[in-house]
Chains A and B, each alone.
Chain A
Amino acid sequence: MRLLIVEDEVDLAHALARAVREEGFVCDVAHEGEEGLWLARELDYDLILLDLMLPGIDGLSLLRRLRAERPTPVIVLTARGSLSSKVELLDAGADDYVTKPFALEELLSRARSLLRRAARQPAPVLSIGPVELDTVGRQVHLGGEPIELTAMEYALVEFLALHRGEVISRARLYEHLYDEREETSSNVVEVFVSNVRRKLGRDFISTRRGHGYLVDA
């Protein structure tokens, strides 16, 4: 899962980036409106955390312009607590909002929930054959037995499971598992796929040659 954080308050942006990375997501950070809008248009983010008071394009305009092109889920970080400003946010296309100072756990929980809803998988625990995926505890069970996965392997399983029944290209998987900081090749995805197959069974992820990978519905 790849997130974009658009927040001009440098300290807050960095703290949020560290927090979501600890949560097993990858993320990019933009401190200005233009940069944020450009990234949000260029890349297929799973979720955007958007501050409202931004230099250049402000958060609300960014949201409106993004909504004309992309359905990326957006959680707004607002410092205004008034009802009218919240209504305005939601009507401009925000999926959710938190009011500063927000509780970190609440923000992360709303982010997870929004990611599940965006993938039309609202249940926090997904069952795929003998595999059970707990998106809150970030744990995977196979036939009732807990399976140890690395953070990268888990992220791969979670992305495929949330998009079950959909063929995901290697490039798209790479885009969602790595952020701008990484300098690896997308071939690394194949390594993780084979690791996951070894741990969860060959049939858990099937390959559509020339198209990508698939977890069956």
Chain B
Amino acid sequence: MRNSLRWTLIGWFGAILALAVAAFGSVLYLQVSESGLRSVEVSLAERAQALAAALEYDARDGWELELSEDYLRGLTQRCSFRIVTPAGEVIAQGGGAQWSGAMDTPSATTGEPASGVHGDSYHFTLVGPGKLRVVLRSSIEPQQQALAELRLQLLLVGVAILAGALLGGLWLARRVLRPIAGATRAAAAIDASDLSKRLDVAAMPLELRELGTTFNGTLDRLEEAFGRLTRFTADASHELRTPLAVLRTEVELALRRNREPDEYREALRTGLRAVARMTELVDGLMVLAKADAGSADIERTRVELGAAATEAVEALGARARAQSIEIHSEGNAVQVRGDRALLREAIENLLSNAVRYNEPGGRVDVAVRSEGGQALVSVRDDGPGIPADSLDRLFDRFYRVDEARSRAQGGSGLGLSIVRWIAEAHGGTVDVASSPGEGSTFTLRLPLVDGAS
């Protein structure tokens, strides 16, 4: 709940609304109470003026209030008055309400009683002729009662408004958030078994479309990666099935009855060939699986490419001789930074292909040099070459130019994809140029070690 969008929304909405209602109520209340007092004050001031005007000085009797009783009664309806000399002597008093208690009596000793609210009454003082003070007092109980009522009403209305608004907000929040819930349901319905589903972005509110598009984009990438993985697994299992079929058939056949030792030997040899092929395949798969997981630990040491190439040529020597293929190598001292074993494997794979798909009596040239700030390893053969329409897919996993012929010649179908991965992992590239009938040249390009050239 602490992290809920809906409750956050309603919480802020409620707080702001409560503040607004409170401010509005307070202003209204203050206005009403102010204007109530004002009208009391105005009416008391008028009466005080009238009383002051009615004061007359008589040398014998001193100050007297020359007013008829009726008029006086009318003047002081709902209020009482007192006229006090500067010495504190009360020369006249009266009114609808009697003074109650001495504390309300303004005394000369305590100075001018301020006009204003005293308890539940309002006092107004006017200094009249002869420094006589005309003090009027009016009860403001009715106003205070009205104000108390107003307070209650404001409170009730405020609470009602707040409650209504919160309920409305709740409904509104749910309504606004409904597309999110819908998108969540739609997203939840998408699982690994069917990654082709997408959120209907066009039907989403504007604000959610970006999220929906991003989500769909993630799904696209996920589907592609998943598809690649599924294809790779299917291809891998397909590739393993053939040597497994050889092994199984050969072993089951051998076990059907008692045979001559030579027959068993032949069966075991065939089985061993199948096992060797599966081993090569599994080795390649392991390298690529590591590459896919991004967990391949690539060392970064100075590698002398010429020496790595020489080692690769030596490793392939026996096979080349068996197929009467000559390997010529020409090496310059070129240094790159990287994993020596992987770089050697890349060169070995290129060489192995050049030997495997060459004709007997063919020739393979390996050259290591630096050019334009890059280290280059090129492996050229004078074999049958590669058809142009196959060049694009040549580095794909399990891609073979001639599916069955190449399989019969051995090879896992992974060699070139491994070379490409090794090249890319070292910040380099591998490419091929080939013309059918004349041979192919594979070129591995890697960044040179800093400062070396």
Contact = CB atoms under 8 A, between A and B. Distances in A.
Contact of A55 (B246, B270, B403): B403
Interface stretch (B93-101, B209-217, B248-256, B362-370): B248-256
A55 B402 CA distance: 7
B244 interface: yes
B245 interface: yes
Contact of B234 (A22, A82, A101): A82
B249 A101 contact: yes
A104 B257 CA distance: 13
B408 A8 contact: yes
Contacts of A83: none
Contacts of A11: 246, 250, 270, 273-274
B402 A19 contact: no
B241 A79 contact: yes
Contacts of B274: 11
B241 A104 contact: no
A104 B404 contact: no
A16 B256 CA distance: 13
Contact of A19 (B238, B246, B253): B253
B405 interface: yes
Interface in A1-46: 8-12, 14-16, 18-19, 22, 31-32
B407 A101 contact: no
Contacts of A99: 241
B269 to A, nearest CB: 9
Contact of A18 (B241, B253, B408): B253
Contacts of B238: 79-80
Contacts of B404: 8, 32, 53-55
Choose among B250, B270, B402 the residue with the greatest number of A CB atoms under 10 Å from its CB. B250
A201 to B, nearest CB: 32
B403 A10 contact: no
A150 to B, nearest CB: 17
A158 to B, nearest CB: 20
Contacts of A103: 248, 252
Contacts of B273: 11
A180 B253 CA distance: 23
Q: Which 6 pairs of residues, A with B, have the shortest CB-CB distance?
A: A100-B245, A55-B404, A101-B244, A104-B252, A101-B245, A79-B241
Interface of A: 8-12, 14-16, 18-19, 22, 31-32, 53-55, 58, 77, 79-82, 99-105
17 contacts: A9-B246, A9-B408, A15-B249, A16-B249, A19-B249, A22-B257, A32-B404, A53-B403, A54-B404, A58-B403, A77-B245, A79-B238, A80-B238, A99-B241, A100-B242, A101-B241, A104-B256
